Structure 1
Amino acid sequence: MTSIKIAAVLLLVGINAFFAAVEFSLVAVRPSRIRQLVEQGVARARVVQRLLGDMNRVVSGVQVGVTLTSLGLGILGENTLASLLRRLLDWIPYPQVALVAHAISLGLAFAGLTFLHVVFGELVPKTFSLERAEQVALLTARPFNIYLDTFQWAIALLEGSAARINRALGISTSKGHTLVHSAEELQILVEQAGERGLFDRGEKKVIKSAIELSEVRVREIMVPRPDVHGLALEATLDEVMKTFATTQRSRLLVYQGSLDHTAGFVHIKDILWVLLDRERRAQDGLPPQEFQLRPLLREVLIVPESKPVSELLDELRARHTGLATVVDEFGTILGLVTLEDVLEQIVGEIYDEFDVVERPLTLADGAMIFDASLKVRDLETQFDIQLPDHSEYETLGGFVLHHLGFLPRGGETFDAAGFRFTVVEMDRRRVARVKIQRIKALEVATTAKEGAR
């Protein structure tokens, strides 16, 4: 009889382990992988997919199962183990032990059951399920689904009772338990995965940048208006070719009067077709057709400066274009943004054969001289120079003007955010180059100079 009770105790521990394995495997398994298995025709994957679609029911079923097995262990296991231990204690030839044998046996039984329950009924299956979530989920889904169908009445009764109590307490009981992570939580998960070696540094940066894409506004990545190259609508073919050659761009805005009256944009391929047509006509002895830009124009997308970059990417893809003009609330053109600008926000700077790579000049004392048009985000991500809240400016030059509050001269110096900033060069009313040096490094260098005297 005792051996049957011991077997029942071990069975209850095993059942508890089963419920723990089900819960943690379904939490850890990748839904995308399960969808892939369903498409491949794996029958067990369909059961897993159904369970993932109703996690409220899964959690309730697991809770009912764990609670019942725990109660069973408490009722059956404690008495069974206590009686066994009491028999062993009775063999000890000390009357003092006999007096407290009952209390000792109960204490040891409780400790033994706790060990069995926690280690073999919870921790071991939990760890195993998290490590091999897919295999465990596929293995346990079908029997667990049968259990849910069998005890549906009990689960529904308990869920209904809990829902009524929650409503009475004013607690929301929204249907559908979903494992949704916020952007911040996803960033933490990526960081943890990187620490475990699942991503290298470059992959981690790309994933984090993609997560942050909805937080970045178009004005932060656009080419500012002073750097935008364009063509007048009445430009000649020679002027068009010269502008394409000097700017080394594949697309150019075309305006009527000023950039605020943009007529569209022209692609270098369209100009090449014009040149090819002229060559053919020359070979046939025909005069060239009169060149006009208007028939070659493509519609340009216009977006507000506050538009999230993630939405801009969707719109560029939907419109099959790689260029958009950026306007403020008054309709004034502030700059230009391309698909390449969006991609660079995710993967970092992209250089082609024509790009001139401008790297900061590093001085002997560790200070660096930057082009003031450098984006603040690039300054932070590439050089780990964190500036104060930059909602009021997008570039290093903008930060200098915002901090000083007046138009500086060359040589103007100020300290901020642990760095010393020096205006190295002005281009009329624009800050052209800025020297940045860590204040700690500056103090060390100063101390070394004084010590050398």
Structure 2
Amino acid sequence: MSLSIGIPLTLLLLLGNGFFVAAEFALVAAKRPRLERAAAEGSRAAASAVAGIRELSLMLAGAQLGITMCSLGLGLVSEPVIAETLTPVFHSAGLPETGAHAVAFVLALALVTFLHMVIGEMAPKSWAIARPERSVLMLAPPFRGFTTVVRPVLASLNSVTNVLLRMIGVPPRDALSVSRTPEQLRDLVEESRRLGLIEEPDVQLLKAALEAPESPLEELMIPVGGIVSVPPSATPQEVIDTSIRTGRTRIMLRGRGQGPGGRPGPPRMVHVRDAYLARARGRRTPAGQLAHPVPSLTAGTPVTEAVATLQAHQSHLGLVLGHDGTPVGLISLDDLLTTLLTPDRA
């Protein structure tokens, strides 16, 4: 291959590698709530980014596949082209042909490695971390297009990876968890107070929230008669209208659906954000297809244990069941925190 072809191809491979690296770090570093708000306002790039974050494991596999392909391309194309160009130079300088080729190969390897690390790795990584939302809005649409094309390959690789993880006792995850334990949050509060980042009244307020009482859920839950719900067949516009009328962003679905083996499925809820996204795309997807499972809790569950359960399921709602297993109310993290932070309710 001639130098006139090898150099442009090398630059394309470096830029491709940088694209996948930047996309990978942007998806991990971007703040999902900001993207969800932008998506609800009609941003297609934000909607694409949110969809990528929801299947983060698959997207990261796509990034690694792209990086691997570009790296192999650099090894197969760039290094031989540069080495073949430099070999005659060193040979004319008096080195034997074998020695000239060895020196040229080492220099070509060093040059390609340097360019790969700086242009293909470090620069795009730093850019994505410094401006995660901006970079993910730019990169998510084409990156989603790439993963769509290679999705069968990625699904196979991901399945094999998940099997290996389960064999060593590690449950696979498709989304990034950012939850913190109460002990970690207390340490953050104390460190922030020591550095003067938050005032003393705010410190006491945060400590009160972290020191949740051991009162049972039945004292804090929304009674079953006050639960806002829609049928699984509700259109996105009906979900949005219900949210506007009630002020709730998370709305329960009526009925349990069908789980494995014909058993009743878990309770489900639909977020108005997903309804806005479906409407923005011109779809009439029923609420049942937009819904997410909701964990169930008993009425006697302590508040701290309920919070831990909701965090483990990454859910803001929990259905409260009575002693006979029938629903008696609904608990939400929003209402729970409001109760804890109100002095006359703490």
Band of TM-score, shorter chain? 0.5 to 0.7
Cα separation, 1, equivalents of 2:106 and 2:127: 30
Alpha carbons of structure 1 residues 187 and 51: separation in structure 2 relative to 1, 3 Å: farther
The one-letter code of the counterpart of 2:197 is: R
In structure 1, list runs of 5 or more residues that go unmatched.
220-303, 324-337, 343-453
Find the counterpart in structure 2 of residue 182 from structure 1: 180
Determine if the alignment matches structure 1 residue 5 to structure 2 residue 6.
Answer: yes
Cα drift, residue 55 of structure 1? 0.4
Tell me the TM-score normalised to structure 2 length.
0.57
Runs (4+) of structure 1 moved beyond 6 Å? Answer: 187-195, 310-313
Determine if the alignment matches structure 1 residue 114 to structure 2 residue 113.
Answer: yes
Find the counterpart in structure 1 of residue 44 from structure 2: 43
Cα separation, 2, equivalents of 1:194 and 1:82: 59
Find the counterpart in structure 2 of residue 170 from structure 1: 168
Find the counterpart in structure 1 of residue 89 from structure 2: 88
Find the counterpart in structure 2 of residue 61 from structure 1: 62
For the 8 Å contact 2:162–2:172, the answer to whether it is kept is no
Find the counterpart in structure 1 of residue 126 from structure 2: 127
Cα separation, 2, equivalents of 1:204 and 1:84: 68
Deviations 1:243-264 (A, max 9, x none): xxxxxxxxxxxxxxxxxxxxxx
Alpha carbons of structure 1 residues 138 and 73: separation in structure 2 relative to 1, 3 Å: same
SS in 2 for 1:171: coil
For the 8 Å contact 2:3–2:82, the answer to whether it is kept is no
Cα separation, 1, equivalents of 2:105 and 2:65: 27
Find the counterpart in structure 1 of residue 210 from structure 2: 214
Cα separation, 1, equivalents of 2:65 and 2:200: 40
SS in 2 for 1:177: coil
Cα separation, 2, equivalents of 1:119 and 1:56: 26
Cα drift, residue 58 of structure 1? 0.8
For the 8 Å contact 2:209–2:337, the answer to whether it is kept is no
Find the counterpart in structure 2 of residue 403 from structure 1: none
Alpha carbons of structure 1 residues 186 and 80: separation in structure 2 relative to 1, 3 Å: farther
Find the counterpart in structure 2 of residue 16 from structure 1: 17
Higher helix share: 2
Find the counterpart in structure 2 of residue 157 from structure 1: 156
Cα separation, 1, equivalents of 2:16 and 2:98: 36
Alpha carbons of structure 1 residues 145 and 194: separation in structure 2 relative to 1, 3 Å: farther
Cα drift, residue 122 of structure 1? 0.7
CA RMSD in angstroms, aligned pairs only = 4.0
Find the counterpart in structure 1 of residue 135 from structure 2: 136
Cα separation, 1, equivalents of 2:75 and 2:59: 24
Instruction: Name which of structure 1's ranges 135-144 and 184-193 shifts more when overlaid on structure 2.
Output: 184-193
Cα drift, residue 91 of structure 1? 3.5
Q: How does 1:46-445 map to 2 (within 5 A)?
A: 46-92=47-93, 94-95=94-95, 100-167=99-166, 169-183=167-181, 201-202=197-198, 206=202, 210=206, 213-215=209-211, 314=335, 338-339=344-345
Find the counterpart in structure 1 of residue 28 from structure 2: 27
Cα separation, 2, equivalents of 1:212 and 1:122: 44
Deviations 1:268-322 (A, max 9, x none): xxxxxxxxxxxxxxxxxxxxxxxxxxxxxxxxxxxx9x976x9899569569x96
User: Relative contact order (alpha carbons < 8 A, sep ≥ 6): 1 or 2 greater?
Assistant: 2
SS in 2 for 1:100: helix
The one-letter code of the counterpart of 2:29 is: A
Cα drift, residue 215 of structure 1? 4.1
Alpha carbons of structure 1 residues 89 and 12: separation in structure 2 relative to 1, 3 Å: same
Cα separation, 1, equivalents of 2:190 and 2:111: 39
Cα separation, 2, equivalents of 1:192 and 1:81: 53
Cα drift, residue 164 of structure 1? 3.2
Alpha carbons of structure 1 residues 7 and 190: separation in structure 2 relative to 1, 3 Å: farther
For the 8 Å contact 2:35–2:46, the answer to whether it is kept is yes
Cα drift, residue 57 of structure 1? 0.9
Deviations 1:190-213 (A, max 9, x none): 899999xxx962269947963783
Cα drift, residue 172 of structure 1? 3.2
The number of residue pairs the alignment matches comes to: 234
The one-letter code of the counterpart of 2:76 is: I
Alpha carbons of structure 1 residues 178 and 209: separation in structure 2 relative to 1, 3 Å: farther
Find the counterpart in structure 1 of residue 241 from structure 2: none
Cα separation, 1, equivalents of 2:200 and 2:7: 51
For the 8 Å contact 1:18–1:125, the answer to whether it is kept is yes
Alpha carbons of structure 1 residues 164 and 109: separation in structure 2 relative to 1, 3 Å: same
Q: Which has the larger radius of gyration?
A: 1
Cα drift, residue 188 of structure 1? 7.6
For the 8 Å contact 1:191–1:204, the answer to whether it is kept is no
Alpha carbons of structure 1 residues 211 and 34: separation in structure 2 relative to 1, 3 Å: farther
Cα drift, residue 10 of structure 1? 1.3
Cα drift, residue 99 of structure 1? 5.1
Calculate percent identity across the aligned residue pairs.
28
Cα separation, 1, equivalents of 2:157 and 2:20: 18
Cα drift, residue 177 of structure 1? 2.5
Cα separation, 2, equivalents of 1:35 and 1:201: 28
Find the counterpart in structure 2 of residue 406 from structure 1: none
Cα drift, residue 170 of structure 1? 3.4
Deviations 1:156-211 (A, max 9, x none): 121122233334x333343423232323666788899999xxx9622699479637
Tell me the TM-score normalised to structure 1 length.
0.45
